[in-house]
Structure 1
Amino acid sequence: MKKIKLGSKEIFNFSKPYIIAEIGANHNGDMDLARQMIDSAVLCGVDAVKFQSWSPSSLIAKEEFDRNQKYDDSPKKHFGSLKEMVEKYYLREEQHFELKDYCDSKNVAFCSSPFSEVEVDLLEKCDVPFYKVASMDINNFQLLNHIADRGKPVILSTGMSRLSEIDKAVELLTKRNCNDIALLHCISIYPPLYEDIHLNNITMLQNTFGLPTGFSDHTIGFSIPLASVALGSCIIEKHFTTDKNLPGWDHEISADPYEMKIICEESAKIATSMGSFSRIVSEAELQKKFKFRRSVVVTKNLPEGHILTVDDLTSKRPGTGISPDMLEHLIGRKLIVGIEEDTLLKWENII
C-alpha cells in the first residue's frame, strides 16, 4: 500500500483523512477575513488551510478580460467585470508570507494551488509541505515539470480529465522523480448533480494507479465527502467559508464551520470504523458471547438415567454452557444425574 507524508502526517488509502479547508479566494482580498477563516477552520479540526496563488497576469489572457466576461454559473450576482473581480480577489505576494506566518502560529498547515511557475517559486519560499495542482492544470506539463522538480509531494485533482490525461500527468511527475503523488477525484461543477459525482471513481483510481486517493468536493453539505471516506478517501478537500452569504465566487458551495466540523469529526470515526478486510471478532465482543448467546437447557424435570430426546431440550441465554449447535449430539445420551426444568445442561451431566 502506497503511503506518503503531508508534512508530519502519513496518509494512505483508508487512513484517517487529511482534511484541507479550501479558502481559495473566499477571503475576498481581505486579510482580516482570511485570518478569521483560518481561526474558524482550526477550531473545526482541519489539517491544512489552502489558498490559490494566481495574479491577473498569470491566470487569464487579455482577450478574455476584454470580453468583460463574468463567471456567472452561480445564482449570486457578482460585482463588476471579470477583471475587476480578479484584481480584488487575488492574493498578493506579501500576503502569502503573512498568511503562512499566521498559519504557523495556529499550528495548521499553509498550502496553496499555484497557477504559474512564478507562484510555484513563491510557495517554495513559503516552504509549503506539498503542492496542490488544480484540475485545470492536469495537462499543463510546463507547470507540472516545474512542480515536480521542487521535490515535494503533489496532490493532483482530476476534474474534467479523461483517464488517459490522468495517466500522462502521473507518468510525467514520476519521470521527474516525483514519487509522492496523491490523486483527488473531482467533479469541476459548482455544485454537481448527484448523478454526476460517481464516487466509485475513487475505487477505480485507487486500483488503476495504486496511489493514495481522496476527494475534492464541490457538493453542498457534508454527506458526499463523508461517503467518500467509506471508499477509502484519504484526503478531503472542501471549500470553506465563515458565511455562505458573503459576496464572491465560491461561498455558496463552501462548507460553513458547522459543516466542516462534522466533516472533520465524523470522517475520523468512519475511517477508524472501516477496520480490516479480515473477519475479526474483538475481545470485548467475544466476552459478549457469554451473555448474549444461548446454551442447551432442559425443558422439564428429568430423572437420573433418562435418555434425552429432542423434546427434552431447548436453548436459552446465557452462553456459558453447551452450545446449541451441539444439540443433535446430545439426543440419545443418558443422564447420570437428575436435572431440574430450565437448567443449563452440562457435559458432566451425561454419559
Structure 2
Amino acid sequence: MGGRRLGDDTPCFIAAEIGINHNGDMKIAHQAIDAAVDAGADGVKFQNYVTEDFLSDKSLTYRYISQGREIVESQYEMFKRCELSSMQLAELKAHCDERGVTFFSTPTGISSLRDLLELGVSLIKNGSDFLTHLDLIREMARSEVPTVLSTGMATVAEIDDAVGAYRSAGGDALLLLHCTSSYPTPPEDINLRRVPTLSQLFGLPVGFSDHTEGTVAAAGAVALGACFVEKHFTLNKHMPGPDHRFSTDPEEFGFLVRDIRNIESALGSSIVAPTKAEMMSRHDFRLSCTASRAMRLGEIVERNSMVFHRPGSGIPPKLSEALVGLTVKRDVPAGHRFSWEDFHER
C-alpha cells in the first residue's frame, strides 16, 4: 500500500493520523506533515469529509476535553471549520509526495472519494463510522485502490457485510483495522487479541487503529501480528480541539516508531534453535562432566566421581550415566573435564 506490500514478512506500516488536528489551518497541516515524517511515519492521514454527508441536525453537540477544560460545542460547527477542499487536499498530497511519505484520507461520500482518486492516491481508508455505508465501500473496491477498513463499534456480522460488499465489487486489496471507538481508549477496552482473530476470520491482513494514550498498545498489536498501525498525531497536545489531548506529539510518535521497530526486531524467527550469539554462550554457560577429585590410572568412575561444572566443552551431564563404571586410562586432576579419550572402552 502506498507502493509497499503489507504482510507477515514486511515492516509494519506506521501512519500518523493528523485527521482534524490541523484545526482548519493549512500552515499547521503542513507543519504536521513535516513533523510526522521527521518522527518516522510511513504515511500521513487526513479526513476529506463533507459535513453534510453525515450531519444535518445542527443541534447535535459533542463533549470533549481540550486544554484542561470540558468543551461542549455544535458538532456541525466543529466539523465544518476543519473541512478540507479539493485544492487543499492536492496541496497536502503534493507536500507528502515531496517528503516521500504516503498521503491518504478518509472520504465520507462518493464525491469526496472521487476527489481523492483524481489526486492519484495510492491508499484510501473507510472510517469506523462508515463501516455500514456499503455503497461507499463498493465504490472504494471499484476504484482498485488499496483500502483500509476500520472496524470500531462493529459486530462480526457487520464486518462480514462490509468485507463481502468490497469483495463483491471486485476489490482484492483490503486491510482491516482493529479499532476501539473510544477517545481515549482505556486499557481494559483495547482487546488486542482481536488482531489475530480478525485475520483468521476473514483471511486478510490486519492492523490497529490506536486511540489509547502512550505507545504500549501499538507495540503489543504488532507483536500479535498487526502489519499497519495508525495513531492520532498533533504538533502539541495543548492545542484547542477534540483530538489533541489523546494524540501523540512528535516526540511521542518517535517513541512509537522506535518501539514498533524494536518489537519487529525482537520477534525474529519462529524456528527454535540457538542463535549465533548463543553458540558462544552454549560453550561458556553449559555444563560438562567434571572430575570431583583427582583420579589415578585404572580407577573406576563412580557417581560421586563427577560434578557438573562450566564450560560446556566436555561430555554433557545427560551422558553421565554412561561414564559410571568406565576405567580411566590416565591420571586426571580434580576439576578435569572428562572426554571420551580419558577412558578404556568397556
Distance 2:65 2:168 in 1: 39
Partner amino acid, structure 2, of 1:74: I
Instruction: Report 1:124-139 matches (<5 A).
Output: 124-139=117-132
Distance 2:147 2:90 in 1: 21
Distance 2:156 2:317 in 1: 54
Counterpart check, 1:255 vs 2:253: no
In structure 1, the residue matched to 2:226 is 233
Question: Which of 5, 26, 32 is residue 31 of structure 1 equivalent to?
Answer: 26
What is the CA distance between 1:226 and its match in structure 2? 1.3
Counterpart check, 1:171 vs 2:164: yes
CA contact (8 A) 2:64 2:242 kept: no
Q: Give me the TM-score of the superposition, normalised by structure 2.
A: 0.95
In structure 2, the residue matched to 1:41 is 36
CA contact (8 A) 1:14 1:231 kept: no
In structure 2, the residue matched to 1:292 is 285
Q: Which runs of 5+ in 1 are unaligned?
A: 1-5
Counterpart check, 1:82 vs 2:87: no
Question: Which of 38, 53, 58 is residue 53 of structure 2 equivalent to?
Answer: 58
Distance 2:151 2:76 in 1: 27
Number of aligned pairs? 342
What is the CA distance between 1:43 and its match in structure 2? 1.1
Instruction: Report 1:159-308 matches (<5 A).
Output: 159-308=152-301
CA contact (8 A) 1:14 1:229 kept: no
- Deviations along 1:248-290, one digit per CA (max 9) or x if unpaired, are 1211111111221111111112123223333132233223211
Could you say what the CA RMSD is over the residues aligned between the two structures, in angstroms? 1.5
CA contact (8 A) 2:124 2:146 kept: yes
Q: Counterpart of 1:252 in 2: which secondary structure?
A: coil
Q: Counterpart of 2:176 in 1: which secondary structure?
A: strand
What is the CA distance between 1:207 and its match in structure 2? 1.2
Q: Give me the TM-score of the superposition, normalised by structure 1.
A: 0.94
Q: Which shows bigger deviation, 220-229 or 77-86?
A: 77-86
Distance 1:294 1:9 in 2: 48
Partner amino acid, structure 1, of 2:231: K
CA contact (8 A) 2:295 2:333 kept: yes
Q: Which shows bigger deviation, 278-287 or 228-237?
A: 278-287
Q: Counterpart of 2:5 in 1: which secondary structure?
A: strand
Q: Counterpart of 2:65 in 1: which secondary structure?
A: coil
Distance 1:55 1:78 in 2: 23
Question: Which of 7, 10, 16 is residue 12 of structure 1 equivalent to?
Answer: 7
Counterpart check, 1:153 vs 2:141: no
What is the CA distance between 1:78 and its match in structure 2? 4.5
Q: Counterpart of 2:273 in 1: which secondary structure?
A: coil
Q: Which shows bigger deviation, 13-22 or 156-165?
A: 13-22
In structure 2, the residue matched to 1:72 is 63
Question: Which of 334, 339, 344 is residue 341 of structure 1 equivalent to?
Answer: 334
Q: Counterpart of 1:10 in 2: which secondary structure?
A: coil
What is the CA distance between 1:13 and its match in structure 2? 4.1
In structure 2, the residue matched to 1:3 is none
Distance 1:187 1:14 in 2: 26
What is the CA distance between 1:148 and its match in structure 2? 0.9
Question: Which of 82, 85, 104 is residue 92 of structure 1 equivalent to?
Answer: 85
Q: Counterpart of 2:235 in 1: which secondary structure?
A: coil
Question: Which of 327, 336, 343 is residue 320 of structure 2 equivalent to?
Answer: 327
Q: Counterpart of 1:46 in 2: which secondary structure?
A: coil
Distance 2:101 2:234 in 1: 16
What is the CA distance between 1:59 and its match in structure 2? 3.1
What is the CA distance between 1:14 and its match in structure 2? 6.9
CA contact (8 A) 1:215 1:233 kept: yes
